[in-house]
């Protein structure tokens, strides 16, 4: 089946590849590894539509890995604001500095894995797409395609070993980067999570999941655990057209980001109280492992070490989404 899958899919990709700013067209010379790496980091748990403007802004401001390596971490964190999963931005800076120190990106999957912040998926994607190395690239889209193609019905995450083994079987020696991107495109646009478009799928005739009559049930997912609810408080401190912002500690939730002062809420528990203030309302935000209810209160004196930031340029402060919500509430 390996030759059949890769041949069919690469032929389909020639005609249906998505036009994305970080890609090279099928069969064209590979894109710059910097652009591949940056896009793959941004795309982790984020949609293509959300990533496009961030990718454009980053590559305009920092056109190569050396420029990004020289950037202050605070500037990168501010530019990242709104993409979420902020540890990715911190690792982005660490990795850029490591690559600049090496004089460029390593060209093998194994060497790429040694860079800070590069997991198995990102290393494989950069190796295959940027350097043409045969590497097995498995993201959520590929995982879904392979689980359906081979009717792997063991529940996740236990099924991932079998899915990776099957993905390895069908990955060709040549054009591994095009093949990986073809699988991603197929999973994104055709073999979608809730409504697979089997009549349009180039692999429909050889898909074991389709023959079961219910491909949408694959991959089988374990029941979701209820996420705990945390509570906290943030403070809106305004004076003469400016708001008081602090810088969060470099590690932990939203580490290194500018933010409103708060009561010390974290992923481990609720806030520890803090001063009172005039209640302005409540915002809700979902993190990976918990949900947060953040009450916003007006306070009149600066809290903690920080800076006055003009309300006219608040969009430039790079507030993470949670605190951007709180600011919108206070300004309303």
What percentage of residues in the chain have a pLDDT greater than 90? Answer: 79
pLDDT on residue 200: 97
- For residues 38-63, one letter each, b for 16 or more C-beta atoms within 10 angstroms of the residue's C-beta and e for the rest, the string is bbbbbbbeeebeebeebbeebbeebe
pLDDT on residue 2: 65
- In this predicted structure, the answer to whether residue 269 has a pLDDT above a threshold of 70 is no
Confidence label for 266 from pLDDT (cuts 50, 70 and 90): low
Instruction: Decide: 283 and 262 in contact? Cβ < 8 Å.
Output: no
- Same structural domain for residues 193 and 276? no
pLDDT on residue 107: 95
What beta strand segments (E) does 260-312 contain? 278-286, 291-299, 306-310
- In this predicted structure, the answer to whether residue 319 has a pLDDT above a threshold of 80 is yes
- Same structural domain for residues 90 and 201? yes
- In this predicted structure, the answer to whether residue 223 has a pLDDT above a threshold of 80 is yes
What are 5's two structure tokens?
């899958």
- Same structural domain for residues 213 and 235? no
- Residue predicted with more confidence, 63 or 248: 63
Three-state SS for 305?
coil
Q: Tell me which residue has tokens 């940056």.
A: 38
Average pLDDT over residues 74-100: 92
Domain termination residue (choose one: 155, 189, 217): 217
- Same structural domain for residues 108 and 200? yes
Domain of 184, in residue numbers: 2-217
- Same structural domain for residues 192 and 258? no
What are 123's two structure tokens?
């290393």
Instruction: Decide: 84 and 77 in contact? Cβ < 8 Å.
Output: no
Residue 89 within any structural domain of the chain: yes
| DSSP string covering 32-86 | PHHHHHHHHHHHTTS-HHHHHHHHHHHHHHS-SHHHHHHS-HHHHHHHHTTS--T
Average pLDDT over residues 297-311: 92
pLDDT on residue 80: 93
Confidence label for 299 from pLDDT (cuts 50, 70 and 90): very high
237 closest CA partner among 257, 262, 254: 262
DSSP 8-state code for residue 212: T
Stated pTM of the model: 0.83
- Same structural domain for residues 255 and 164? no
- In this predicted structure, the answer to whether residue 268 has a pLDDT above a threshold of 60 is no
Give the model confidence (pLDDT) of 166-193 as tens digits. Answer: 999 999 999 999 999 999 999 999 999 9
Instruction: Decide: 137 and 124 in contact? Cβ < 8 Å.
Output: yes
Q: Give me the active site residues, please.
A: 40
Which domain CATH number covers 38? 1.10.340.30
136 closest CA partner among 176, 106, 175: 176
pLDDT on residue 276: 72
- Same structural domain for residues 33 and 86? yes
Confidence label for 277 from pLDDT (cuts 50, 70 and 90): confident
pLDDT on residue 308: 96
- Same structural domain for residues 202 and 280? no
């Amino acid at each position: 089946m390996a030759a059949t899958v890769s041949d069919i899919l690469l032929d389909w990709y020639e005609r249906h590849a998505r036009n994305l700013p970080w890609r090279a067209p099928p069969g064209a010379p590979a894109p710059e590894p910097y652009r591949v790496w940056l896009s793959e980091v941004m795309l982790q748990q984020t949609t293509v539509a959300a990533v496009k403007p961030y990718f454009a802004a980053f590559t305009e401001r920092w056109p190569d890995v050396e420029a990004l390596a020289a950037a202050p971490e605070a500037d990168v964190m501010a530019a990242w604001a709104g993409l979420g999963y902020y540890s990715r931005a911190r690792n982005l800076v660490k990795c850029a500095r490591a690559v600049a120190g090496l004089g460029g990106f390593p060209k093998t999957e194994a060497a790429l894995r040694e860079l800070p912040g590069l997991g198995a998926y990102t290393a494989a994607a950069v190796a295959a797409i940027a350097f043409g190395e045969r590497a097995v690239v498995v993201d959520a889209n590929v995982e879904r395609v392979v689980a359906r193609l081979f009717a792997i019905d063991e529940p996740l995450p236990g099924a991932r070993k079998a899915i990776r083994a099957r993905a390895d079987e069908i990955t060709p020696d040549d054009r591994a980067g095009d093949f990986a991107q073809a699988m991603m495109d197929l999973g994104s646009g055709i073999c979608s999570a809730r409504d697979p478009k089997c009549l349009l799928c180039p692999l429909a005739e050889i898909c074991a999941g389709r023959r079961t009559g219910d491909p949408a049930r694959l991959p089988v997912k374990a029941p979701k655990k209820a996420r705990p609810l945390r509570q906290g408080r943030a403070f809106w401190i305004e004076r003469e057209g400016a708001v008081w912002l602090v810088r969060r500690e470099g590690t932990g939730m939203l580490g290194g980001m500018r933010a409103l002062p708060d009561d010390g809420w974290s992923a481990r528990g609720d806030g520890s109280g803090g001063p009172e203030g005039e209640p302005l309302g409540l915002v809700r935000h979902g993190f990976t492992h918990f949900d947060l209810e953040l009450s916003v209160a007006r306070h009149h004196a600066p809290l903690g070490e920080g800076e006055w930031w003009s309300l006219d340029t608040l969009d430039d402060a790079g507030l993470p989404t949670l605190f951007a919500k709180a600011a919108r509430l206070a300004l309303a």
